[in-house]
Structure 1
Amino acid sequence: MKTLKINQRYTEKMKKGYPLIEKEAVYAKDNNIDEGSLIEVCDERGGFLGKGYYGMQNKGIGWVLTKNRDDSIDKHFFQSRFAKAFQQRSHLSQDPETTAFRLFNGEGDGVGGLTIDNYDGYYLIQWYSKGIYSFKEMIIAALDELADYKALYQKKRFNTAGQYLEDDDFVKGTRGDFPIIVKENGIRFAVDLNDGAMTGIFLDQRHVRKTIRDRYARGKTVLNTFSYTGAFSVAAALGGAIKTTSVDVANRSLQKTIEQFNANGLDHQEHDIKVMDVFKYFQYAARKQLCFDLIILDPPSFARTKKHTFSAAKDYKNLLKETIQITEDAGIIVASTNSSAFGMKKFKGFIEAACKETNTAFTILEEHSLPEDFKTMKSYPEGNYLKVVFLKIHHSR
């Protein structure tokens, strides 16, 4: 087992339970460590801080898995972590109206770099580094002892240059006949676990979709920007929206959104689905003097189109200003971001600045962060990345 010495500046943070081993935290680089190597982490004086594995992921070079020196990182270790996580989600496992949710959430459940999602008995493992992937057989063996799944699929999220290169993500079990239909609070979604990096739905917005359907959509005109497969649009339509408009630049979003409407017995022709750059759509809507009662603004934390580069940390405020211009008076904006680069306080700062610069008053109606199955830890705030604010807009006339 290799030993990594941590700089004094980072020692206190790690003593408090920060699980990511940051590149800058290591006292002296050892270039002979392979991804997947078990490592012991200590302070500059050699005091034990924890043990884990070496694996390149974002700003990190590995994760601490335990602060107990006597723990062995073996099948039983993973099994105990999985058993605890599955038990904590038993209320979801027993809910016939929700058949898609996260079973295991990385560092929040004790193993950074690994997530497991359940799609109606089809399990999807996501590996975020070559390091954690090297434990694949051990992890699957641990899973097999605990879970009765239909099939196991995987996504390797560590390919170079952000490209997703796999053409078959099936691991074992009985292959799914995709798309399969899963349920979330009774809403039906078509998902495909063997079609590139995405599945068709982001499970972390479960509570937000339910809130839109149950409390905000009835009788409203709804604009869903960066709409992906139209999940928010479907939730709004089921909640009694007069009409939804879904806008996304990806060509496949049209067919995928139609598929989600069909899955719920909704006529997609009563709604608008536009394949276009959202930034261009804002200009078009402003020119045509279109206004909406409810706008969902959930951009990717980073996006690039031919003419635009968007970064939530830099550009969310300006995007919100454009959104305000096409929101009806007393209309609602669901402002959402999955960027881990800033917290809720800074996000609310963007909201305040956008409203001030457009001479708009606002009321915060409610806030959301990750649902309970996306378990996080206080000592690792970056893991609690989702920030959603429901704003009521009051235009100054």
Structure 2
Amino acid sequence: MKSVRISKGKEKAVKNHHPWVFSGAINSAIGQPNQGEVVKIINSADQFLAYGYYNKSSKITVRAIEWNEETKIDDNWWKDRITQAITRRKSLLTLEDTDSVRLIYSEADGIPGLIVDKYADFLVMQVLTAGVELQKKLITDHLYALLKPKGIFERSDAKSRSLEGLKPSNGLLAGEMPPELLEINENGLTFLVNIADGQKSGYFLDQRENRKIAAKYAKGLSVLDCFCYSGGFSLNAHKAGAKSIVSIDSSALAIKTVKQNYKANQITFNENDLIEADVNATLRRFQTEKREFDFIILDPPKLAPTRATVDKAQRAYKDLNLQALKLLQPGGLLATFSCSGGIDIDLFKQIISWAALDAGKELQIIEQFNQPSDHPIRTSFPESEYLKGLLCRVI
């Protein structure tokens, strides 16, 4: 097997089972490994550290996948790793009110660059690394044999593929094409998912449990759902008995999807309460109009995709929360989220406290939101933790 030698003093992360080996930690590549090929990772004394797949085009040049030297990385290894990930989610696959979950979560499940989501009877696969790209057919065939879905669709169009030297790749991999709008169930509600053109793999499965938790507080309240996308928080709040719901998103497609989801659940809605507009500008307009809400939900897109953008993101998160807090009176609730990996929960709490101070509000944190169990956090890979949120009460 071809090898990659780690420079002396740079092997600690690999020894600690962190899967990323950056180009700066590599002394040499032995045997001219090909893109995506599995290599042996060795230290400066040529001692075994791990196996991983190699990609000279990426700053993360090797992705470690196995630390037992006796283990053979063959077809059975891939099949076993996939089966193990799905088995760990067995309890989620039998839920009565939910039929859509994440089955494989990349590094957290020991397969860097592979994401597989189950939407009702279809699977959506994202291939984000060269190592997984080489095994795409094997993975597809095994998933199809194991789960017998109606079809497997690929949505490998994330920007991170370009960092691996890979082109976007979308389309049917096995079985039949999903319908243009696939009907799924979440928390007893119906949602229509556009697998081919929707964000991420079609829907934000990672907020499933948080939507349910937040909805518990919505009964009898006027709710403002910002960055509503397909209306997950809005519909859960309606089911819980919210008095009124205003949903905002800058995307016309998002607002159209919210309407479709209301209709799919036979929910009567007011067209004026579905607003296609910039959230920040709308929050300021509502202040001018002296509007107030009992419960505001902020679920913005990723504002800090890298550590280099953290400072800028802090200012954006603070201003967003500041403008929302100005619309809340004592007793009002704010559910605020960050999906930026570069913003940890302690920093996020600090940002919210700064926003509250500038808004002249005193807050209590009454719930802390996390990513669900189908998006596990691997202890040797802290980067797998990205979603965090707070439910705050104005006092």
* C-alpha RMSD of the superposition: 2.7
Cα distance in 2 between the residues matched to 1:208 and 1:65: 31
Q: CA offsets, 1:151-208, max 9 Å, x none?
A: 001111345499x986952111122223121111212111121225545420000111
Cα distance in 2 between the residues matched to 1:187 and 1:324: 29
Confirm or deny: 8 A CA contact 2:5 2:29 kept in the other structure.
no
Partner of 1:82: 82
Secondary structure at 2:39 match in 1 = strand
Q: 1:123 to 1:303 in 2, by over 3 A?
A: same
C-alpha displacement of 1:107: 1.3
C-alpha displacement of 1:3: 2.0
Cα distance in 2 between the residues matched to 1:57 and 1:217: 49
Q: Which runs of 5+ in 2 are unaligned?
A: 306-310
Partner of 2:71: 71
C-alpha displacement of 1:29: 7.2
Q: How does 1:221-236 map to 2 (within 5 A)?
A: 221-236=222-237
Partner of 2:184: 182
Confirm or deny: 8 A CA contact 1:36 1:135 kept in the other structure.
no
Q: 1:167 to 1:190 in 2, by over 3 A?
A: farther
Confirm or deny: 8 A CA contact 2:155 2:201 kept in the other structure.
no
Q: Which runs of 5+ in 1 are unaligned?
A: 305-309
C-alpha displacement of 1:59: 5.6
Q: 1:149 to 1:353 in 2, by over 3 A?
A: same
Q: Does 1:329 align with 2:335?
A: no
Residue type of the alignment partner of 1:117: D
Partner of 2:308: none
Partner of 1:149: 149
Secondary structure at 1:193 match in 2 = coil
Q: Does 1:195 align with 2:197?
A: yes
Q: CA offsets, 1:336-360, max 9 Å, x none?
A: 1111113211111111222223332
Cα distance in 1 between the residues matched to 2:208 and 2:380: 25
C-alpha displacement of 1:56: 7.7
Residue type of the alignment partner of 2:212: K
C-alpha displacement of 1:374: 1.0
Q: 1:58 to 1:37 in 2, by over 3 A?
A: closer
Q: 1:8 to 1:365 in 2, by over 3 A?
A: farther
Cα distance in 2 between the residues matched to 1:165 and 1:44: 34
Partner of 1:386: 387
Q: 1:374 to 1:56 in 2, by over 3 A?
A: farther
Q: 1:256 to 1:9 in 2, by over 3 A?
A: farther
Q: CA offsets, 1:271-306, max 9 Å, x none?
A: 6111111111121111111111111111111399xx
Partner of 2:357: 356
Secondary structure at 1:258 match in 2 = helix
Cα distance in 1 between the residues matched to 2:167 and 2:3: 33
Cα distance in 2 between the residues matched to 1:195 and 1:167: 13
C-alpha displacement of 1:86: 1.6
Q: 1:347 to 1:356 in 2, by over 3 A?
A: same
C-alpha displacement of 1:72: 2.4
Q: How does 1:235-254 map to 2 (within 5 A)?
A: 235-254=236-255
Secondary structure at 2:318 match in 1 = helix
Q: 1:37 to 1:168 in 2, by over 3 A?
A: closer
Q: 1:291 to 1:113 in 2, by over 3 A?
A: same
Secondary structure at 2:336 match in 1 = strand
Secondary structure at 1:132 match in 2 = helix
C-alpha displacement of 1:112: 1.0
How many correspondences in the alignment? 388
Confirm or deny: 8 A CA contact 2:123 2:152 kept in the other structure.
yes
Q: 1:139 to 1:387 in 2, by over 3 A?
A: same
Confirm or deny: 8 A CA contact 2:124 2:201 kept in the other structure.
no
Q: How does 1:120-159 map to 2 (within 5 A)?
A: 120-156=120-156, 157=158, 158-159=160-161
Cα distance in 2 between the residues matched to 1:269 and 1:138: 49
Cα distance in 1 between the residues matched to 2:127 and 2:316: 30
